[in-house]
C-alpha cells in the first residue's frame, strides 16, 4: 500500500534535520560561504542530532531508520545549505550504506560502527583528474604483494577529502583488464587516514558549495591489508555503481530542498518588494516563475519518494533513482536561476541567499552522474537497451511502521 502520510519516526527525523538547519546552519552559512571556509562544527552538530548513522541498522550502531527518512533529512539539510546535505551524501550514501551492504562482518565492525555512531567520518573515492562519468577510465592501481595491496593513484573532487577518517577507494587489481577497459578488473578497498603514502588536500576556487570541504586524495605505495578488500576482486564496478545509486538518491532529495528554499525566498521577497506601486507578487510573470518552482518542487519530491519507497522494499531502483536525480537537479537549477531573476539586482549580490542557491545548484547537475549521463540512461531504459538486474546483495532491510 502506498501512503502519502509520513510515519511518526519519519516526521521526527524531518523535525531534527529542519531544526538543525534553522538553528545551526542558516544563521552562519553566509559567513562560511563568503570565506570559502568549511565549518568543522557542522559534523559535531550533525552527530549530536544523531544524523550521521540514523538509517543504519541498530546492530552496527545506527537507529534502523528507513530510506524515506534519509531523503527527508537530505531535503531539510539542503534547505539550509548544500554543504550540509553533502555530508550525508558521502558519509551515509556513498560510504556507510555500501559498506553495510557489501563488506564482511569484520570490516563492518571496524569501518562501519564508528561511522554509524558519528565517531568517525568517511567518504568515497572514485573520480580522478581524468575520469568522472567514464568510471573505467580511472588510473589508480592496486597491486597485490603477499597479504597486502600497494595502491597508487590520485582521486579528485572528493567531498570531505581533508576531513574524513575512512575512505572507500576504487582501483584496478587486474592490469590486463585495465588495458582492455574491462570493468571486471576493478576492486574496492577500505583505507584510513594515517596509512603511510596517503595524503589529502583541499581544492580552492569553487563556483559553489563553498562552505563544503572538497579535495583530492593522493596515494603513493599505500600498503592496504588484503583484509580491506571489499567484496571480491573484480566487484569494484558493481560496488561503485551501487554507491552512486545511494548518493544520487540523496542528491535528488537535497535538490528538492533547494527548490523549496528558492520558492520560499521568492514568496517572501515578492510580498515585500514593490514596483509600479504594487508588490511584485501581483505581477503575472513573477507569479509564473514562482509557480514553476512550486511545480518543480512537487514532482521532484514525488520522484525521490518513489525511489525511496523501492529502496525500502529492497527492490532494484537504479532507474527511479536516476530519474529523480536528473529531474530534481534540473528543476533546482531552473528554480535558482528564476529566484535570482525575481530578486532582480538584489539577486545578483550575496545580500540575499538566492545568489548562493544559484551557485550551489550547478554542481548537482555534474556530480553523481552528469545530466547528460542520466538523460542517456533514461533513454536507454525507454528504448529497451537497459534494465535493472538484481545484485547478489541489497540494502539493509528496514522495518516498516
Residue pair 284/119 in contact by the 8 Å Cβ criterion: no
pLDDT band at 1 (very low <50, low <70, confident <90, very high): low
Tell me which of 116, 142, 171 is where a domain ends: 116
DSSP code at position 183: G
Within 10 Å of residue 180's Cβ, how many Cβ atoms? 12
**Above pLDDT 70, what percent of the chain?**
99
Specify if 224 maps to a domain: yes
Residue pair 209/254 in contact by the 8 Å Cβ criterion: no
Same domain, 220 and 267: no
Q: pLDDT, tens digit, for every residue of 44-75? A: 999 999 999 999 999 999 999 999 999 999 99
Same domain, 274 and 304: yes
pLDDT at 397: 83
pLDDT at 3: 75
Query: With 0-12 CB in 10 A as exposed, 13-18 as middle and 19+ as buried, what is 278?
Result: exposed
Range of the domain at 29: 8-116
Return the CATH number at 158.
2.40.110.10
Same domain, 256 and 304: yes
Specify if 358 maps to a domain: yes
Report the pLDDT averaged over residues 191-197. Answer: 98
Domain count, the chain: 3
Higher-scoring residue by pLDDT: 59, 392: 59
For residue 399, is pLDDT > 80?
no
Considering the entire predicted model, what is its pTM? 0.96
Taking the C-alpha atoms of residue 356 and residue 34, their distance in angstroms, rounded to an integer, is 9
pLDDT at 390: 84
Specify if 13 maps to a domain: yes
pLDDT at 67: 97
Residues involved in catalysis: 368
Q: Cell numbers at residue 106, please?
A: 569484520
Q: pLDDT, tens digit, for every residue of 273-307? A: 999 999 999 999 999 999 999 999 999 999 999 99
Looking at 80-94, 135-149, 257-271, 387-401, which range is the least confident one?
387-401
Specify if 391 maps to a domain: no
Query: With 0-12 CB in 10 A as exposed, 13-18 as middle and 19+ as buried, what is 223?
Result: middle
Same domain, 375 and 250: yes
- At what angle are helices 284-312 and 318-343 packed, to 10 degrees? 160
Taking the C-alpha atoms of residue 72 and residue 249, their distance in angstroms, rounded to an integer, is 11
Return the CATH number at 42.
1.10.540.10
For residue 400, is pLDDT > 90?
no
Return the CATH number at 332.
1.20.140.10
pLDDT at 51: 95
* C-alpha distances out from residue 69 to 12, 144, 305, Å: 9, 40, 10
Taking the C-alpha atoms of residue 140 and residue 151, their distance in angstroms, rounded to an integer, is 7
Amino acid at each position: 500500500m502506498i501512503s502519502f502520510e509520513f510515519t511518526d519516526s519519519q516526521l521526527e527525523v524531518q523535525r531534527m534535520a529542519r531544526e538543525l538547519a534553522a538553528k545551526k546552519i542558516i544563521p552562519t552559512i553566509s559567513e562560511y560561504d563568503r570565506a570559502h571556509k568549511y565549518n568543522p562544527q557542522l559534523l559535531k552538530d550533525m552527530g549530536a542530532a544523531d544524523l550521521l548513522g540514523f538509517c543504519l541498522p541498530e546492530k552496527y550502531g545506527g537507529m534502523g531508520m528507513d530510506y524515506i527518512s534519509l531523503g527527508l533529512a537530505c531535503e531539510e539539510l539542503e534547505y539550509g545549505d548544500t554543504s550540509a546535505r553533502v555530508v550525508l551524501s558521502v558519509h551515509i550514501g556513498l560510504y556507510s550504506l555500501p559498506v553495510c551492504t557489501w563488506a564482511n562482518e569484520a570490516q563492518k565492525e571496524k569501518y562501519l560502527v564508528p561511522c554509524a555512531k558519528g565517531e568517525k567520518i568517511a567518504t568515497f573515492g572514485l573520480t580522478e583528474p581524468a575520469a568522472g562519468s567514464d568510471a573505467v577510465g580511472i588510473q589508480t592501481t592496486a597491486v597485490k604483494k603477499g597479504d597486502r595491496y600497494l595502491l597508487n593513484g590520485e582521486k579528485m573532487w572528493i567531498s570531505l577529502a581533508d576531513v574524513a577518517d575512512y575512505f572507500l577507494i576504487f582501483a584496478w587489481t587486474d592490469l590486463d583488464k585495465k588495458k582492455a577497459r574491462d570493468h571486471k578488473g576493478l576492486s574496492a578497498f577500505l583505507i584510513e587516514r594515517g596509512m603511510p603514502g596517503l595524503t589529502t588536500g583541499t581544492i580552492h576556487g569553487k563556483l559553489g558549495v563553498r562552505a563544503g570541504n572538497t579535495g583530492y586524495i593522493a596515494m603513493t605505495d599505500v600498503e592496504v591489508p588484503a583484509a580491506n578488500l571489499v567484496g571480491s576482486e573484480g566487484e569494484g564496478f558493481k560496488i561503485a555503481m551501487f554507491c552512486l545509486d545511494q548518493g544520487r538518491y540523496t542528491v535528488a532529495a537535497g535538490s528538492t530542498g533547494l527548490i523549496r528554499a528558492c520558492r520560499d525566498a521568492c514568496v517572501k521577497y515578492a510580498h515585500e518588494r514593490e514596483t509600479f506601486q504594487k508588490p511584485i507578487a501581483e505581477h503575472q510573470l513573477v507569479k509564473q516563475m514562482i509557480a514553476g518552482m512550486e511545480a518543480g518542487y512537487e514532482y521532484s519530491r514525488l520522484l525521490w519518494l518513489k525511489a525511496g519507497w523501492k529502496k525500502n522494499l529492497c527492490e532494484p531502483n537504479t532507474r527511479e533513482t536516476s530519474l529523480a536525480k536528473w529531474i530534481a537537479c534540473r528543476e533546482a537549477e531552473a528554480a535558482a536561476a528564476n529566484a535570482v531573476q525575481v530578486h532582480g539586482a538584489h539577486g545578483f549580490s550575496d545580500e540575499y541567499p538566492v545568489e548562493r542557491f544559484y551557485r550551489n545548484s550547478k554542481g548537482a547537475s555534474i556530480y553523481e552522474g552528469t545530466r547528460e549521463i542520466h538523460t542517456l540512461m533514461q533513454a536507454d531504459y525507454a528504448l529497451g537497451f537497459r534494465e535493472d538486474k538484481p545484485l547478489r546483495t541489497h540494502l539493509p532491510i528496514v522495518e516498516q511502521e
